[in-house]
């Protein structure tokens, strides 16, 4: 393995190779882990420098800041992967010394290294959906004449219930564990109708909202419960919310303002998502994809669900991650 090469910081293949490839010697493994930690240190340094900026740019918003964060993480990985700042070399020297001193120990350096590898992968797993949930929305989604109309009743009882629900969401959402636990019952309730693995549905919601941490808010700051980024076309008769969004056109990303559907509950959002897929002919190949993640993501992309050119890859990455598999299993 070439420890000097740089991949996307969301690519776990090198970490998996470090963990499972028995042919990689301990010295090489140690250097690779040190490089990863130097990258994390550089990320923290860049973040501190950004935070020290006294003024916000005219065009600053949550989406642009998230893209800036994505850029900083990738840059830090590239810097660490090349010459670095010397931190990795210092770590290698220190840990190599520990290895010599622990040569007669049963644990030795192997277990000591394996822990940081796991830590790094967990950091990447936790950040993955947050970085990807940049609201890269659809250019044409929600324009179908066949859509589910969901009316909401605006009275004090409903508002009080909604506030209570949102407090519960705030406690559960924002982390993979809490989000998956909360989403699985809803995903299972529509999975049969859609002919889909519930994990695919949860993964898409995770991507769209960053595990629920970046869900679109209404003008009052309340949750729109729009978990799938569905826009409000002319046929939509329910509540709406406006939000800035990032669209890709001819490979170029542009910021736009769009109108999205707003729901009174998470259950309404899931039912509308199910109706949206089944009532639109262009998603006929998406429905009944079963447990074939390749078929689901590929057909979703071909149908034009999102303008993001790597939207399908992102969903697939979440579905196939070890953490997602483990959490889905424990959520049942």
Per-residue pLDDT at 10 exceeds 60: no
- Among 116, 132, 148, give the residue marking a domain's end: 132
For residue 145, tell me if it sits in a domain.
Answer: no
**For residue 142, what are the contacts with CB-CB under 8 A and spacing of at least 6?**
230, 231, 232, 233, 236, 260, 261, 276
- Asked if residue 266 and residue 215 are part of one domain, the reply reads yes
Mean residue pLDDT across the chain: 72
- Asked if residue 106 and residue 185 are part of one domain, the reply reads no
CA distance 236 to 223: 19
Residues 95-113, mean pLDDT to the nearest whole number? 46
- Asked if residue 171 and residue 119 are part of one domain, the reply reads no
Per-residue pLDDT at 194 exceeds 90: yes
- Asked if residue 172 and residue 39 are part of one domain, the reply reads no
- Asked if residue 175 and residue 109 are part of one domain, the reply reads no
- Asked if residue 162 and residue 117 are part of one domain, the reply reads no
Whether the CB-CB separation of 323 and 125 falls below 8 Å is answered with yes
Number of structural domains (the chain) is 2
What digits encode the pLDDT tens for the residues 22-79? 566 777 777 777 777 777 777 777 676 666 554 555 555 665 666 666 666 666 666 6
Q: Worst-scoring range by mean pLDDT, 54-68, 138-152, 219-233? A: 138-152
For residue 150, tell me if it sits in a domain.
Answer: no
* pLDDT confidence of residue 60: 57
- Among 100, 132, 164, give the residue marking a domain's end: 132
Integer angstrom CA distances of residue 87 from 47, 76, 117, 190: 18, 13, 17, 50
CA distance 82 to 74: 13
Nearest to 225 by CA among 308, 169, 300, 185: 169
- Asked if residue 314 and residue 200 are part of one domain, the reply reads yes
Whether the CB-CB separation of 77 and 9 falls below 8 Å is answered with yes
Per-residue pLDDT at 107 exceeds 80: no
CA distance 234 to 259: 10
As annotated, the active-site residues are 247, 272
Place 248 in a pLDDT band, splitting at 50, 70 and 90: confident
- Asked if residue 308 and residue 270 are part of one domain, the reply reads yes
Q: Worst-scoring range by mean pLDDT, 41-45, 121-125, 235-239, 308-312? A: 121-125
- Asked if residue 183 and residue 239 are part of one domain, the reply reads yes
The full DSSP string for 230-285 is -B--TT--S-EEEEEEEEEETTEEEEEEEEEE--SSHHHHHHHHHHHHHH-GGGTT
Share of the chain above pLDDT 90, in %: 35
Per-residue pLDDT at 164 exceeds 60: no
- CATH classification at residue 311: 1.10.530.10
Nearest to 266 by CA among 226, 206, 298: 226
For residue 43, tell me if it sits in a domain.
Answer: yes
Domain containing 262 equals: 156-331
- Among 132, 166, 183, give the residue marking a domain's end: 132
Per-residue pLDDT at 260 exceeds 50: yes
Whether the CB-CB separation of 131 and 48 falls below 8 Å is answered with no
* pLDDT confidence of residue 31: 75
Judged by phi (left if over 0) then psi (alpha if -120 to 50, else beta), residue 2 lies in beta
For residue 148, tell me if it sits in a domain.
Answer: no
What digits encode the pLDDT tens for the residues 270-329? 999 999 999 999 999 999 999 999 999 999 999 999 988 889 999 999 999 888 898 888
* pLDDT confidence of residue 276: 96
- Asked if residue 161 and residue 111 are part of one domain, the reply reads no
For residue 37, tell me if it sits in a domain.
Answer: yes
For residue 140, tell me if it sits in a domain.
Answer: no
Give CA angle at 319 (222, 148), nearest 5°. 45
The residue assigned the tokens 């669209």 is: 247
- Stated as kind and residue range, the H or E segment containing 147 is none
**And the tokens for 297?**
């993501």
Count helices and strands in the chain by DSSP H and E runs: 12, 2
Per-residue pLDDT at 6 exceeds 80: no
Place 252 in a pLDDT band, splitting at 50, 70 and 90: confident
- Asked if residue 299 and residue 186 are part of one domain, the reply reads yes
Which of the given ranges, 55-64, 144-153, 170-179, 258-267, has the highest pLDDT on average?
258-267
* pLDDT confidence of residue 297: 95
Q: What is the pTM of this model?
A: 0.56
Whether the CB-CB separation of 199 and 326 falls below 8 Å is answered with no
330 vs 188, more confident = 188
For residue 187, tell me if it sits in a domain.
Answer: yes
Alpha helices, H only, 52-175: 62-81, 87-101, 108-132, 156-172
- Asked if residue 120 and residue 196 are part of one domain, the reply reads no
Pairing of strands 252-261, 240-249: antiparallel
């Amino acid at each position: 393995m070439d420890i000097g090469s740089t991949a996307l910081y969301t690519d776990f293949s090198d970490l998996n190779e470090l963990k499972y490839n028995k042919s990689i010697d301990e010295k090489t493994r140690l250097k690779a882990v040190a490089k990863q930690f130097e990258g994390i240190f550089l990320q923290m340094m860049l973040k501190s420098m950004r935070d020290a900026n006294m003024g916000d740019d005219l065009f600053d918003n949550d989406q642009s800041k998230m893209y800036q964060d994505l850029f900083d993480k990738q840059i830090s990985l590239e810097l660490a992967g090349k010459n670095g700042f010397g931190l990795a070399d210092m770590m290698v020297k220190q840990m190599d010394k520990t290895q010599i001193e622990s040569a007669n120990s049963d644990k030795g350096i192997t277990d000591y290294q394996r822990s940081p590898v796991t830590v790094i992968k967990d950091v990447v797993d936790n950040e993955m959906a947050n970085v990807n949930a940049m609201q890269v929305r659809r250019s044409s989604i929600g324009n179908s004449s066949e859509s589910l109309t969901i009316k909401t009743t605006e009275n004090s009882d409903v508002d009080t219930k909604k506030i209570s629900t949102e407090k519960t969401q705030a406690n559960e959402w924002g982390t993979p564990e809490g989000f998956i636990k909360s989403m699985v019952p809803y995903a299972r309730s529509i999975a049969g109708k859609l002919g889909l693995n519930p994990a695919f549905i949860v993964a898409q919601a995770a991507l769209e909202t960053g595990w629920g941490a970046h869900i679109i808010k209404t003008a009052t700051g309340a949750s729109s419960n729009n978990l799938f980024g569905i826009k409000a076309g002319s046929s939509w008769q329910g509540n709406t919310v406006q939000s800035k969004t990032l669209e890709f056109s001819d490979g170029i990303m542009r910021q736009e303002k769009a109108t999205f559907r707003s729901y009174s509950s998470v259950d309404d959002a899931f039912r509308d998502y199910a109706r949206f897929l089944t009532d639109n002919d262009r998603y006929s190949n998406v429905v009944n994809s079963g447990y074939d993640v390749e078929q689901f993501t590929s057909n979703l992309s071909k149908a034009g669900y999102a303008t993001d050119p790597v939207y399908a890859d992102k969903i697939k990455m979440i579905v196939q991650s070890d953490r997602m598999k483990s959490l889905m299993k424990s959520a049942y």
